Amino acid sequence: MNITYVTRSFLDYRVPVFAALNELVGGRLSLLYSADSVPERVRQKASAVLGCRAVGLAGEWCLGPKTDDTGLANSSVSIVYQPGVLRRIWRTRPDVLVGDGFFKWSIPALITRVIKRVPLVLCYERTPRTERNCQWPRTVYRRAALRFVDAMCCNGQETTAYVRSLGMDPARITLKNMAADVEGLVSATAQLDESNRAAIRRHYGIEGVCFLYSGRLTPRKGVLELVEAWRRHESTHPTPGTLVLVGEGPEEATLRTLVSAYSLQRVKFVGSVDYDVMHRFYRAADVFVIATLEDNWSLVVPEAMACALPILSSQYNGCCPELVRPGRNGYIFDPLQPASLAALFSTCCARSSDLTRMGRESQRIVSDYTPEAAAQEILRACVMASGHRSTEGVACY
Cα distances (Å, whole numbers) of residue 197 to 145, 206, 244, 273, 333: 49, 10, 14, 16, 28
Percent of the chain that is helix, strand, coil (3-state, to 5):
50, 15, 35
Query: What CA–CA distance (Å, rounded) separates 162 from 282?
Result: 32
Query: What CA–CA distance (Å, rounded) separates 383 from 180?
Result: 24
Query: What CA–CA distance (Å, rounded) separates 29 from 19?
Result: 9
Query: What CA–CA distance (Å, rounded) separates 282 from 284?
Result: 5
Second CATH level (architecture) for the domain 3-179+370-392: 3-Layer(aba) Sandwich (3.40)
| pLDDT given for residue 104 in this prediction | 80
Cβ neighbourhood burial of 47 (10 Å; 0-12, 13-18, 19+): middle
| pLDDT given for residue 226 in this prediction | 98
Q: Per-residue pLDDT tens, the chain, 397 aa: give them.
A: 999 999 999 999 999 999 999 999 999 999 999 999 999 999 999 999 999 999 999 998 887 666 555 556 766 667 788 999 999 999 999 999 999 999 788 899 999 999 999 999 999 999 999 999 999 999 999 999 999 999 999 999 999 999 999 999 999 999 999 999 999 999 999 999 999 999 999 999 999 999 999 999 999 999 999 999 999 999 999 899 999 999 999 999 999 999 999 999 999 999 999 999 999 999 999 999 999 999 999 999 999 999 999 999 999 999 999 999 999 999 999 999 999 999 999 999 999 999 999 999 999 999 999 999 999 999 999 999 998 865 555 566 6
Q: Where are the domains of the chain?
A: 3-179+370-392, 182-366
| pLDDT given for residue 79 in this prediction | 77
| pLDDT given for residue 166 in this prediction | 97
pTM higher than 0.85 for the full model? yes
Three-class HEC string of 111-122: HHHHHHCCCEEE
| pLDDT given for residue 2 in this prediction | 97
Q: Is residue 383 classed as helix, strand or coil in its secondary structure?
A: helix
| pLDDT given for residue 103 in this prediction | 79
Q: What is the CA radius of gyration of the chain?
A: 22
Check whether domain 182-366 has CATH 3.60.15.10, yes or no? no
CB atoms within 10 A of CB 44: 11
| pLDDT given for residue 169 in this prediction | 96
Q: Could you tell me how far CA 14 lies from the centroid of its own chain?
A: 9
Q: Is residue 55 classed as helix, strand or coil in its secondary structure?
A: strand
Domains 3-179+370-392 and 182-366 share a fold: yes
Axis crossing angle, helix 252-261 with helix 223-236, rounded to the nearest 10: 20
Q: Are the C-beta atoms of 61 and 33 separated by less than 8 Å?
A: no
| pLDDT given for residue 77 in this prediction | 67
